[in-house]
Amino acid sequence: MVLIAHFSAAPTIDIYLRVCVPLAVGGWSWGHVEPYAGALAREYIYDARECEAAVHTYGRNMPRVASHGALGERFSICARGVVTGLWVGMREWAWSLSRREYRPVGEYMCGWRSAERAYWDKTGELFSRKRFEECPRIPTLDVVPTQLTPVPAAA
């Protein structure tokens, strides 16, 4: 018998990349850059620590995927709840001239608690109770082994 596990819930967060976009009146705002507009990924995250780890992982690896020109001098990774659309975590990175790499700046911003409350308000379910659940057993196929016949070597 083969046993397969699956999640009892759909993916829980979307990961977004935001970059500095200049404004026509001066200054800048957070915006998107092609081809990274929209969600970069969907992840199964079940608590605030997992969310922080996912945001940091995407932030550390984004410079390996996108060029310095695409990311600019500063970028952030933002995690948003799939059901509520609220942000649940965010971290910012800035280019370090001395180290020639992106470094985290400021503190990680966690919105997990308020997002959990919004999830409850929207669905009536406690998000903290989401877990893996077992799928029904799938019978294995009875496969008859085939007999291999040696091929004569070419003369």
Q: In tens digits, what is the pLDDT along the chain, a chain of 155 residues?
A: 333 344 444 568 899 999 988 889 988 888 888 888 888 998 888 888 999 999 999 999 999 988 888 898 999 999 998 888 888 999 999 999 898 899 999 999 998 888 888 888 888 777 766 655 544 455 555 555 555 555 566 65
Angle at which helix 48-65 crosses helix 112-123, to 10 degrees, equals 110
Predicted local confidence at residue 112, as pLDDT: 85
94 vs 76: CA distance, rounded Å: 9
For residue 80, give both structure tokens.
């948003």
Q: Global pTM?
A: 0.72
DSSP collapsed to 3 states, 85-154: CCEEEEEEEEEECCCCEEEEEEEEEECHHHHHHHHHHHHCCCHHHCCEEECCCECCCCCCCCCCCCCCCC
pLDDT of residue 91: 95
The predicted structure's pLDDT at residue 1:
38
